[in-house]
A and B are shown apart, each in its own frame.
Chain A
Amino acid sequence: MSPLATLGGELAGLWAAYVARFKVAIGVQFQYRASLVIWLVWTVMESVVYLVVWSTVAQSSGGQVGGYDAAGFAAYFLVTMVVNQLTFTWIMHEFEYRVRQGQLSPLLLKPLHPIHGDIAENVTYKALTSVVLVPALVLLCWAFRPALQPQPWMAAAFLPAVLLAFLLRFLSGWTLALAGFWTTRVLAINQLYYMAMLFLSGQMVPLSLLPGPVQALAAVLPFRWMVAFPVELLLGQLTPEETLAGFGAQLAWIAVHAAAAAVVWRAGLRRYSAVGA
């Protein structure tokens, strides 16, 4: 077999595994339709709280804060909600469960890297949650009247920006989830990570409203590339040059995280194989 044919076969096999995983994930999630609604409440609340707080701030300061009026904040936080939905992962919960229930060993005995199953499951979940998010989004737009008029190129660039943001956030979450190889309580780390995300990714407040030093910190950490960048892009706050630079930053961070994931995975396996399940 030529190397190319081998690679082709490899990819075809991988694709088949993904398709099978999609089907299983849909089957599982279909059993828990109710949890979709619950998830929706969580997502919507998170955005609405900050939306309302900042709109109130804008109103009590003469209608505007840092260039945002109430409609501007509405646009910011609703787009943030969408980006957050598309990039969110719960892999740390999943990993903690696996370690606790001894479900890791069967995965390791399969001739396929577990990350593929995790990605497939995540993508399925996003597709399903979109079904409930879109109607909610319409209602929220009606309630809060966001001001959003992106130019066509922004809308076009938004898609790859979100895709890269998802990859980056998935890889970082997955790498941190591997802490499960060392400690049985990954959730504490998860909460820590969540809080850092909240503040430094732009979920809680537009980064431009943060004090200077925090903005500087956010600039050198990967979090803003997971949420704030696509949001600012769609809101028309970035020039084409800044957008290109942003893509570059996303790709660089993805490379760093992919390398970290590979290293930690190998170390984790060594550790797991040394101490057992």
Chain B
Amino acid sequence: MSVPPQLRLFGVFLKVGILNELEYRVNFYVQLLQSAVGLVIGLAGLGVVFSHTDTLGGWSPNELLALLGIYFLVQGAVQLVIEPSMQRFMEDVRQGTLDFTLTKPEDSQLLVSVGQVQIWKLVNVLLGLAVLGVALSRLQTAVGPGEALAFGVALLAGGVIVYSFYFFLATTAFWFVRVENVLVIFQSMYQAGRWPVGIYPWWLRSALTFIVPVAFATTVPAEAIAGRLSPGTLLLALAVAAAMLAGSRWFWGVGVRRYSGASA
């Protein structure tokens, strides 16, 4: 059994990222501290809310803890590779150094997507898993194999959706001068994902589901754990994931053609 080349490429970038980051040891401690503070604030936020109420929009404290874990997990994964890679890509477009990437004998979308790794963000991934684990152990109702499978599928679909969305936004760098700020749209909308999207007014809920797909990344997997996920929603998540992945790939092709045309 051989490792797929895509994964191997990611592995190489991961290693480079680790070596590079080890030179900045302060960052490691800062990240530890930062993740700890993030955790404290997340838990404290839940704590403050539940010091004034018992349920929030039908969610129990432990279910929201699971949601918080998923929130950290997805955020960590995004910050680990997607966000730094997209930022690097945009900078490359601005500085004209994208040429180096485009002349490499490897799929350019893949290269761009894993081009930069912020290794310490792994801490957030682990943190998310830990919080999720604690939440699961405290949930009154046991999570059966069906729910676990649904959770896995929903999380995977959510990850693909988030990646595609990010990548789609980043690709607009081919047209606009400074789009780093576009990524902030995701980050800012994503903070809404710390809470179940059901509590938001209809217009915001729609935006969080279909414009900036935060709901699929956080609320839907959490619903699977809470045993409230309908098969229809899961199918919808899968369909959206497939469509967005295909769409981002198509859009990337358009962008690269434009870039080549403009710089030639």
Direct touch of chains A and B (CB < 8 A): yes
Q: Chain A interface (Cβ within 8 Å of chain B)?
A: 31-32, 34-35, 38-39, 41-42, 45-46, 48-49, 52-54, 56-57, 60-61, 65-66, 143, 183-185, 188-189, 191-192, 195-196, 198-199, 204-205, 209-211, 214
B27 engages A41 (CB within 8 Å): no
With A49-B195, A60-B56 already in contact, the answer to whether A183 and B201 are too (CB < 8 A) is no
B155 CB to nearest chain A CB (Å): 22
Q: What are 16 A-B residue pairs whose CB atoms fall within 8 Å in the complex?
A: A31-B177, A35-B178, A48-B192, A49-B192, A49-B195, A53-B195, A56-B199, A60-B53, A60-B54, A60-B57, A143-B201, A191-B34, A195-B41, A196-B37, A209-B52, A214-B44
> Is B55 interfacial (CB 8 A cutoff)?
yes
In this complex, what residue of B is CB-closest to A65? Answer: B52
The stretch that binds A, out of B8-16, B65-73, B179-187, B218-226, is: B179-187
B52 engages A192 (CB within 8 Å): no
B49: A residues at CB distance < 8 A:
53-54, 57
**Chain B interface residue count, Cβ-Cβ cutoff 8 angstroms:** 42
A32: B residues at CB distance < 8 A:
177-178, 181
B78 CB to nearest chain A CB (Å): 14
A125 CB to nearest chain B CB (Å): 13
B194: A residues at CB distance < 8 A:
49
A61: B residues at CB distance < 8 A:
52-53
B56 engages A57 (CB within 8 Å): yes
B30: A residues at CB distance < 8 A:
185, 188-189, 192
Q: Chain B interface (Cβ within 8 Å of chain A)?
A: 24, 26-27, 30-31, 33-34, 37-38, 41, 44-45, 47-49, 51-57, 176-179, 181-182, 184-185, 187-189, 191-192, 194-195, 199-201, 203-204
In this complex, what residue of B is CB-closest to A49? Answer: B192
Q: Chain A interface secondary structure, helix, strand, loop or mixed?
A: helix
A137 CB to nearest chain B CB (Å): 16
A4 CB to nearest chain B CB (Å): 45
Instruction: Report the separation of the CA atoms of residues A45 and B178 in the bound assembly, to the nearest whole angstrom.
Output: 21
B192: A residues at CB distance < 8 A:
45, 48-49
Instruction: Report the separation of the CA atoms of residues A169 and B181 in the bound assembly, to the nearest whole angstrom.
Output: 22
Contact with B52, one of A46, A57, A143, A185 (Cβ below 8 angstroms): A57
